[in-house]
Each structure stands twice: as C-alpha cells, then as structure tokens.
A and B are shown apart, each in its own frame.
Chain A
Amino acid sequence: MREKATTLYIGPQHPGITGNMMVKVQVEGDTIVKARTEVGYLHRAFEKLQESRNWLQSFTLLCRFCVPEPDPVEESYARAVELLEGREVPERAKYIRVLMLELARMASYMLWYGGQNGSLGLYTMGQWSVGDRNYILDLFEELTGGRVYHMYIWPGGVRRDLPDGFADKVLRTMDYLEKRLKDYDDLMFENTIFQKRTQGVGIISKEKAVEWGVVGPVLRGCGIKSDIRIDDPYEVYDKLDFIVPTQEGGDIWARALVRRQEIRQSIRIIRQVIEKMPSGEFYNRIPNPHKWTLPKGDAYARTEATRGEVGMYIVSDGSTHPRRTHFRGAAYVHGITLLEDLLIGENVADISAIMNSLGTCPPEIER
C-alpha cells in the first residue's frame, strides 16, 4: 500500500541548510517523492547595485556573493576588468593571486569538512577543521587585513605586497595542515558511519552531470576531468605542476574524496608559488577611481572556485560605472535544478548531506 504523501519544509532557517533557502519536499514514509527549492531570502541585488557603483567600488561587493569563498569572485571580476581594459598585471601579483585562491580553496574545503560531517551528525570533524581553518584566516588577516572578507584582489593586481616573513609562515602552515589531513582521514574517510551515509547516496550519472552543466568537484566526482585551471589557465596556473583528481561513482563519497585530494594539490601549488614567486611590483595602479572609465564593450572571465566554475561577465558603456554585470556561479545549477531532481528517491535524512556535497551556496544563487 502506498503511504500518504506528507509535505515537509526544510529551511529557510535550518542548521543543515547551507544558507537561507528552503527545500519543500513531499515524502512518502521517509522517501522523497518531490522536491521544490525556494530561494529569495538573501537577494541583495548585487549586480544591480554594481551599476550605481564605479568600477572600483563594485569590487567591495563581490566577496559577499558567497561567504565561504570570497576570493575567486574578486579574482574573476578583476580579470574581467583587466581583459576589457587591457590592463597588465605584474607577474608577482599573479603569483600572489594564486596563493590567495588556493588558500581560499583550502579554507573553503575545511569549512565544507565541518558542514558535510555535521550534516551526518559527526560534529568533531567540524570543530577540528574549522579550528584549523583559523590558521589560514590568520594568514589572510596578515596579508590582507581581513579574516573572511579580504577585498584584496583588485583590478591591476593585489592591494598590498606580502609582509615580511609571510612566505615562511605560509609554508609552516602548509606543513601543519598536511599532517592534520591524516587525522581528518581517520575521523572521516575511515569512519564506517561516514562511509555508509555517503556511498551510493546522491548519485549523479555522468550523462546527467554533463547535460545539466554540473561543474567543479561535483563533476569530477562523476569521473569527468574538468578544471578551468587546466582547461583555460589563468594567472600563472600554466606554470605550476598539479593534477586534477577525479573519482568514479558520482555519489557524496566520490565528491568528498575529490575535495580531499584537491586540498593536497592546493598545498602542492602553494609550495610552488612560494618558491617561484618573482620579486617586483604587486600592483599596476588604476587611475583616479572617480574618473576611471573602461572602454565600451564586454568581457567574461572564469575562475575555478571550490564549487566549480564561477564567471564574471561585465558590460561597459565606456563610463565610470558598469552598465551591467552578471555573475555565474555553480550554486544555481547545483542548488536548484540539480538538487530538485537529485533528491527524488532519496531519504529525507540525507537532504542536508546531499546539499553540502553539492556546494549549494544560497547567497551566491541569489546574489
């Protein structure tokens, strides 16, 4: 006998939701038969706001698109502006940018460690990884003056050079975190509960992943090798040696493993960056921001964020303000269209784990 369907509202305030949004699910027993997402709680009209801010002022909004991962958005905006204007960026600045981006990737993944495990009731992991993430935030603070929102990568380069002794500090932090990864493995990947709750859950097929425009670690967890850093290298990624890990299976487990491996690659990249970073300028200064105009035209720059490809499209009418900007992030596909389909047939207790594994970021969906 079919059980009677019940409608449940998960969110918009819910510890298992990765930000303020709601998933309205119909369940039969504890199996989901229909899922609808509802967003709109975090709409701040950033793209519209940018039209009333000049090209420099716009940049301070960007870090707020997606809280756990501000830097790739700054970077893609900066690069779009540079593309449109033809502004050169000093080599040193490019290395510093990659350092920032990879530190940001690690910081973001360490927050994800907490979220992914927390969604399964495994809370110790989050206390460790979020605690360890603080070491990266300390680095950010020392380099940029801010812990979470850095407002550091801006058109023309970066805002300040590395402080004295910073490179050594980065290397020491990398050594420490590398060791910690082993502890994390024991607590998480080796943990039966984690394995059982993630393997075979939230499966995305290769075909579906491609069809829907899935990106980032979620796509790589479906066995598809795709990474903007390699496919369309920017900054100095083409001068660095690293691999793009993939996993077969398309489930939460596969996605988790990809992320785990990527942290290792980030550490590898960061060590190379420190070694290879040339001396010299860190900033090709923009003109007076009040009168700084960009040539008429448009530009698009894409960056590999932890959630996958993010891209900034800017349109200039030749004036001091953007005519239009549009931001494309992974969260819209992953967190709405894909999620609604993926949840069907899953257990209601896994909603949170699936959302976390997809890198759903409601503030980014809505901007």
Chain B
Amino acid sequence: MSFFDLNGTLKPLTALKQFGKKPHTISYPKESKEAADRYRGLHFNDLDECIGCGNCSTICQNAAIDMIHIEGHDGKKGDSGLRPRVDNGRCCWCALCVEVCPTGSLSLTKDYLYVSEDPDSFLWTPGKDNPEGKEQISFFSTEETSLNVLDRVPMPELEGKERVKSFAEVVLGYNEAEARAEASRCISCGLCTEVCPEHMHIPEYINAIAAGNDADAVRIIYDNNPLPEMCGKVCTRRCEDVCAIASRGEALAIRWLKRYATETAVTADITREIVNPEIREANGKTVGIIGAGPSGLTAAYYLALRGYDVTIYESSAKAGGATMYGIPKYRLPIESLDKQIDYIKSIGVKINFNTKVGKDISFKEIYNKFDAVFMGVGFPDAWSLGVDGEDAKGSMQAFRYLYMINSGDKVDIGDKVIVVGGGNVAIDAARVSRRFGADVTILYRRRVEDMPADWEEIEGAEDEGVHIIPQGIPIKVHKDENGHVKSVEYLKAEMVPDPKGGRPKPVAIEGSNTIIEATAVMAAIGQMGDYSFLEKEFEDKIKIERGRFIVNEKQQTGDPKVFAGGDAVNRTADAISAIADGFRACKAIDEMLSA
C-alpha cells in the first residue's frame, strides 16, 4: 500500500462544502434556547394549592427537599403549614416529586439557568422565590400520570333492599386482600393525625396493615383508643376529610382500615392477647367516673393501665352511652361493643350499672370517696320542636326512640314516619323506622347539601328508600280524634344568603303551607345535658355555660379534683372527641395524683 492515496486525501476535503452553513447550535448568551414543552427545569409550586404533605420530600432520593415554614400558609385544616424547599445543588430533575404530589401543585418549568457563586442561594422555595415560574410550567402531573393511587377499594355492603329487612350490619368489612390494597394507597403524610381529635397514629397503623402486620396495627391503635372497633365502624372520621390523596382522588378509607385491623382480634381475650398491655402495679389511688360512655370508658381504661383503682357509675344497664343506646345496631352491632367493653373490664375497670348518680348515689358521696372524679355524662335529653300539637300520641324524640329500640323495647310508630332534622340522629331514626316497615320522610329546614349528617349516611338512607324533603319548616302537628298524630304541617323555605358571609338561612315562605300524613313524628334537632345530679354546693366551682361544663385544656373543671369530657363539654359531639377528652383527662389525673 502506497502511503499516498488520492481518494483518501481528497474525500475529507469535501467537508469544505459545509463551510458557511448556519450551525444549529446557538451562540449563548446572545441567543437562548427555548426549552421543550415537557422540559424538566427548575421547580414551581402553587403555594395555595400545596397542603404541605411532604410527599415530595419523602420521595426525593437525593434528599433535595426539606419542608419549611413560610409566612401566610398556615392555619388551614389539613395543611401542615410547611412548604417544600428545593436544594438545586442536589436536585437531579427526575421529577419524581412532581409525579407523587397529591395536589398537583408541584411542577417543573422551562427555566433552567441559574448562576450564582453563593451556594446557599441554591436553596429555593418554589413558588415563593420564583412566582413567575407559574407562566413557565412544563412538566406537571395529571390524574392519569399521578403516582398516587386515587381510587378507593370499594367497601362491600348489603343491598338497600336487603338491609331494611333486619338490623344486620350494613357494612361487610374488607377482607385481607382488600385491606392491604387500600392501606397501600397511604403516603404517610400524617395530615390526618393532626386533625384527629385523639391524634391516633394513623400512618403507622395503616403501614402495619399494608405490610401485613395486623397485630402490630391493633397494638398501635390501642395505644390511645380503647374503643377502636367502634370508631372503625362509626367514627365521624375528620381524618378522611383532610387526606392528601383526596385532593385528586378518594380519601383513604381510614375508618374501614381501623375496623379491619380491630376485627382481626375476634374476642376480648384475643384482643388482650394481642394488645398485651403493660398494667402497672396498683398505686392505691382511686378514681370515680360518672357515665360509661366513650369518654368515661377511655379515662377508665388508661387510668386502670396506670395502676389506678377505677369505678364507673352508669345509670343504664349497659356500657357505651350514646354509642350503645343511640347508634343503631346495623351500624354498630352489640357483639362488637360488648367485646370492646369486656376487654376494658378485663384490665380491672369496675362498672356499677343501673346506678344513677343523683338518685342511687349522690355526687357528693362520689366526690368524697375518690381521689379524683371524671364526669362523662353526655347529653341525655333531647330538644323538642316547640310546635303546636307536639304532645300528640306518636310524637316523640328520635333520641328516646332509638334508646328504646336499642334497649329492646317495642315502639308503636305506625306506617308513616316523619323525622324532623338533618343530623346523624335524624338519619338513624329514619333508617331504623324503615327497618320496621314504615314509609319514612325526613323533613329538613335547609338543603340536602347543608345536612350535618355524614354523606355516606344520607346516601345509605336514600338507598333504603327514605324520602327527604329539604327546605321544610314544621309548624304544627295535627291530631286525630284520639289525640294521635295525624299529619304534620310545614312551610316551604327559601335559602337567604347571610350578608355576613355565614351559611344561608332558611326563611319560611308565607302561604306555602303543606300537610303530610303521619302516624309518628320524631324530633331530631339536638340534645342537651342534664346536670341535676350536681348538688348546689358544687355550683360555684363546677361551672356550666350554654349547657356545657367549663373545663381547662386538661379537662379540669373549676374544682381541681373534678374533670369532665365528652358531649357534656365539647361541641363536636362525636365519639372520638369524647375519647380524646377521656384520654386527656386520664393524663391530667395521673399527673395530679402522682405529683
């Protein structure tokens, strides 16, 4: 081979034909390149949309995100008040943070240039430090691309037609696979824990369920709730309202998961075995508790665990308070409640049933007998409608009605029941009446969407054939010749906006009188307390205002020895708030008596 090869020498020279061609690279910084529509550049966060769940920070494998407090973004329910701050010196722009952001507030932008010699300035709070980023959003997530699992595992339930035939439990519960699948949707942000009155360890027990450790879940749950199966069936579940996943999808079924876990402990004995609580040696101190409702039972259980000698006085024949005598059995079967109460008793809690304080034993006696007293007496009386003819036979309080049914008594309601009210008690009374074959109508002052009752309960009632007449204000109960309810007369109402921005008010429309036939009328417009058991001498210290005991943050009344909680104290009037009160009172009593 000769060294000189003409072709091989000339061919490369054809490169000269490229001379003068416009290069397709750009001459930066004279020109700049517009990034693609999907470009993964610097972050932007819509600070108002963001709820501070921290999922972006958790997924970031570069530890490039920490959560910091910034002005003006706290105080909202279900918002941690924190916002992600990105260390652009660590970020690799993988956008996993974007893919897992449940609100979709976090995105990446077309902006990719940032030069500074100050390394500290690489820390950015997206949205705050680059508000203009909003115009440049390029890589974002949608419901289709989101890595959150948005759909809830459906809960198997009895069919509406089946349900009204008996008091069988409507909700059938998750099986193991369903529970694991549902639990594995959780992102463990803990926003729920914050709003749960009892601050239950929600992400922790959900994690345990997801990982297949049901027993661990039960132990975690019992750490601060001794009636968790009840909560697992009927809790008002404010936690689910703030679930981060609900920003785009369906909230985790937190309540159903708790129910699943606790139901794996099928008896009180097994519960005891699983929870295996540490019971401290008796410390010789005594606590008297009035009322075996959720608040009283909670205080009792945790005090007993701490070595106190606890006695509950309960006027009824069974424990559970309104959860026993109010909540219908198709929502909370008696066996479930009994199991939980048997377990509480197994720790050493004594309950004196059929003992009404103020009648069978005086408050003063209890006060003197015990080192501390807790009152969890609930709201045993109901409001009446205050309309003409309410004294008719067949006119009753829904609360009383439920109490009697739950006590096993028979109540004559006929075949046409009108329930007045829009809360859970109204729905319960309506659905119970359906189970006795009556045609049931709920009459409510405001719109259906204004009903304070749980939406699932409203849906359940509708499935079972309950009619709802919204915007109807009862004005009279008509009687027949025997003094029995014959019909209910009401006025239609229009919703008038509140000039102060509150919720719209129903205002009766003159002349819109309507009459519906009825064999029974039930008032379900609220309950109130009965504190007649308190002797006069306590009045100075144990104060009652607007129908409720006044307590400090430790549930302590003006008398340092006396604590109170539950419906008789808080306005939220649900079981979990009562449990939270009982738990707080237990800690305060323990603190006081062990000082």
Contact = CB atoms under 8 A, between A and B. Distances in A.
Interface string B151-182: 00000000000000000000000000000000
Interface residues of B, number: 44
A286 B100 CA distance: 12
Given A131-B23, A160-B145, A145 B11 contact: no
Interface stretch (A189-197, A246-254, A295-303): A189-197
B92 A149 contact: yes
A290 B25 contact: no
B188 A134 contact: no
Interface stretch (A135-143, A236-244, A259-267, A337-345): A135-143
A60 B8 contact: no
A187 interface: yes
Given A124-B15, A183-B14, A57 B37 contact: no
Contact of A190 (B7, B99, B207): B7
Contact of B38 (A145, A191, A286): A145
A191 B12 contact: yes
Nearest to B184: A291
A290 B102 CA distance: 13
B38 A143 contact: yes
Given A61-B61, A159-B145, A290-B58, A142 B12 contact: no
Given A191-B11, A195-B8, A288-B147, A144 B58 contact: no
B54 to A, nearest CB: 12
A190 B38 contact: no
A250 B126 CA distance: 54
Interface string B88-104: 00001111100110000
A163 interface: yes
Interface in B139-155: 139, 145, 147-149
Contacts of A60: 61, 92, 94, 96
Contacts of A131: 23-25
B59 A289 contact: yes
A144 B96 contact: no
B330 interface: no
B184 A288 contact: yes
B413 interface: no
B53 to A, nearest CB: 12
B108 interface: yes
A285 interface: yes
B106 to A, nearest CB: 14
Contacts of A186: 11-12, 14-15
A33 interface: no
A292 to B, nearest CB: 8
B266 to A, nearest CB: 26
Contact of A145 (B5, B25, B95, B185): B95
Interface in B99-125: 99-100, 108
B27 interface: no
Contacts of B148: 288
A57 B92 CA distance: 12
Nearest to B183: A291
A148 to B, nearest CB: 11
A292 B59 CA distance: 13
A135 B25 CA distance: 10
Contacts of A191: 8, 11-12
A56 interface: yes
A190 B11 contact: yes
A53 B96 CA distance: 13
Contacts of A121: none
A40 interface: no
Interface in A268-316: 283, 285-292
B187 interface: yes
Contacts of B96: 56-57, 60, 289
A124 B40 CA distance: 32
Contacts of A195: 5, 8
A146 interface: yes
Interface in B5-31: 5, 7-9, 11-12, 14-15, 18, 23-25
A153 interface: no
Interface in A130-175: 131, 134-135, 138, 141-146, 149, 151, 159-160, 163
Contacts of B196: none
Contact of B61 (A53, A141, A144, A183): A53
A135 B24 contact: yes
B471 interface: no
B521 to A, nearest CB: 49
Interface string A188-221: 0011110100000000000000000000000000
A291 B5 CA distance: 66
B560 to A, nearest CB: 47
B575 interface: no
Contacts of B184: 287-288, 291-292
B285 to A, nearest CB: 44
B254 interface: no
Contacts of A192: 4-5, 8-9
A57 B100 CA distance: 12
Interface string B37-67: 1111000000000000000001101000000
Contacts of B14: 183, 186-187
A39 B9 CA distance: 39
B35 interface: yes
Contacts of B61: 53, 57-58, 60-61
A160 B58 CA distance: 23
A222 B307 CA distance: 83
Nearest to B37: A163
Interface centre among A135, A151, A160, A289 (most CB of B within 10 A): A289
A360 to B, nearest CB: 25
Nearest to A320: B211
A60 B64 CA distance: 14
B36 interface: yes
B262 interface: no
A193 B567 CA distance: 94
A120 to B, nearest CB: 12
Contact of A163 (B11, B38, B58, B100): B38
Given A285-B147, A290-B187, A160 B8 contact: no
B92 A142 contact: no
Nearest to B210: A291
B417 interface: no
B424 to A, nearest CB: 32
Contacts of B149: 287-288
B139 A145 contact: yes
A151 B59 CA distance: 15
A151 B62 CA distance: 14
B7 A57 contact: no
Contacts of A61: 61
Contacts of B108: 145
A290 B56 CA distance: 11
Given A145-B139, A146-B93, A192-B9, A289 B100 contact: yes
B186 interface: yes
B138 interface: yes
24 contacts: A124-B12, A128-B18, A142-B37, A144-B38, A145-B39, A145-B139, A146-B93, A151-B95, A160-B38, A163-B38, A186-B14, A190-B8, A190-B11, A191-B8, A193-B8, A285-B147, A288-B148, A288-B184, A288-B187, A289-B96, A290-B59, A290-B187, A291-B183, A291-B186
Given A57-B59, A145-B40, A289-B96, 10 more contacts: A56-B147, A131-B25, A142-B36, A143-B38, A145-B39, A190-B11, A289-B100, A290-B188, A291-B184, A291-B185
Interface of A: 53, 56-58, 60-61, 124, 128, 131, 134-135, 138, 141-146, 149, 151, 159-160, 163, 183, 186-187, 190-193, 195, 283, 285-292
Closest 3 CB pairs of A and B: A192-B8, A190-B11, A57-B61
